[in-house]
Amino acid sequence: MIVNRRKFLLSSLCASGAIALAKQQAMAAAADVTGIANAFKDDFFVGTAISKTRMMTPPDGFHDLVAREFNAMTMENDMKWERLHPEPDTYHWDIADTFVDFCEQHGMFAVGHVLVWHSQTPRWVFNHPDGTPLSRSDLLARMKNHIDTVAGRYKGRIQAWDVVNEAIDEDKGWRKSPWFNQIGADFVDHAFQYARAAAPEAHLLYNDYNMHNPGKRQFVVEMVERFKKNGTPIDGIGMQGHIGLGYPDIQEFEKSIEAYAATGCAVHITELDLDVLPVAWEHMGAEISDNFAYSDELNPYAEGLPDDVQQQLTERYVEWFKLFLKHRNKIARVTFWGTGDGESWKNGFPVRGRTNYPLLFDRDYQRKPAYDAVTSLKK
């Protein structure tokens, strides 16, 4: 039985009206197209992340492809603090404004990424001009001002916000970031409260990687339960989908989908890509400070992806989309972290200079066999 997405999201204990309204708009806009979003229109949003270059100076036909294929979109980097608010009294709005205009023009579910994160945040945010750390109250005031300004500017225009990103370590509790060290664990509570006040209709998310990890899963569930008890607003949990041919354990990922949905929150699969290259580390994650030395051994497909690996990628994507369809009554959105292989961050992370193939469109923005196999699940 096909689950009515609008009915589910309206009845979700944590859902706001933003998703339901945006779904109606996106479905209307997608009536005459045949992209992947249209294939899954009764199940969940299908989105992409877009870079500054692709937003502002796209190759011919790129914007048309994005509008045809997707009904949700996220700025990859240019709504992060260091890009949007690089100096205390300086905001750069042009890229974010263009992004929001594009989403409105095409009836897309706009995701703001991200309000509070330890990374890609200027040092001045946490310090006085002389370099000494701000007090708890001063840093909270700085956080509130940023959220009020950014989320407030797009009130009613951005349907979802990644309010806090990657605040939890692996099985170690809170990440010891400046936010935590200078404010305390309740910095997360304050961020969500500020976001709700600034953008009352938006869907508010906590987003993190390795969300299949049992220790992180339990910590997140307990965090959400505490939020609900204390009245802290949260609408969704973002599970970053940085996967590979052999990781993570899909059964553990499924357990997390079920556990997060059981809190009453909608689940969002965010930042989805599929790394086909040799693993360069033992710890699988998305910590952007990690980087490894280049070697030819770690870059075996520089001249193209062999047919057998292409087939493995296809089968792996099908496996994951079967999981997403199985839990479509819990999942609000599936967003790829990029559109074509050539623009993916996985070409340079965790080893610079590699050639990777993690998405459903190739470097010429042609549909790959994985695209056809995934969309065929709905035929």
CA distance 315 to 278: 18
Q: Whose CA is closest to 72, among 108, 34, 114, 30? A: 108
Question: For residue range 129-161, what is the model confidence (pLDDT) as tens digits?
Answer: 999 999 999 999 999 999 999 999 999 999 999
Q: Is 271 a catalytic residue?
A: yes
CA distance 115 to 155: 14
Question: Is residue 285 within 8 Å of residue 212, measured between CB atoms?
Answer: no
Catalytic residue among 201, 271, 282, 319: 271
Mean pLDDT for the chain overall? 91
pLDDT in the model for residue 244: 96
DSSP state of 224: H
Report the residue count for the chain: 379
Domain-wise residue ranges, the chain? 5-378
Confidence of residue 73 (pLDDT cuts 50, 70, 90): very high
Residue 12 has pLDDT above 80, yes or no: no
Residue 91 has pLDDT above 70, yes or no: yes
CATH 3.20.20.80 for domain 5-378, yes or no, is: yes
Prior bond to 114 cis, omega within 30? yes
Question: Is residue 335 within 8 Å of residue 111, measured between CB atoms?
Answer: yes
Question: Is residue 79 within 8 Å of residue 114, measured between CB atoms?
Answer: yes
Q: Which amino acid is at 151?
A: A
User: H or E stretch including 187?
Assistant: helix 187-198
Mean pLDDT of 329-354: 95
Confidence of residue 349 (pLDDT cuts 50, 70, 90): confident
Residue 336 has pLDDT above 70, yes or no: yes
pLDDT in the model for residue 281: 64
Q: What are 320's strand-pairing partners?
A: none
For the ranges 1-15, 76-90, 216-230, 243-257, which has the lowest average pLDDT? 1-15
Confidence of residue 30 (pLDDT cuts 50, 70, 90): very low
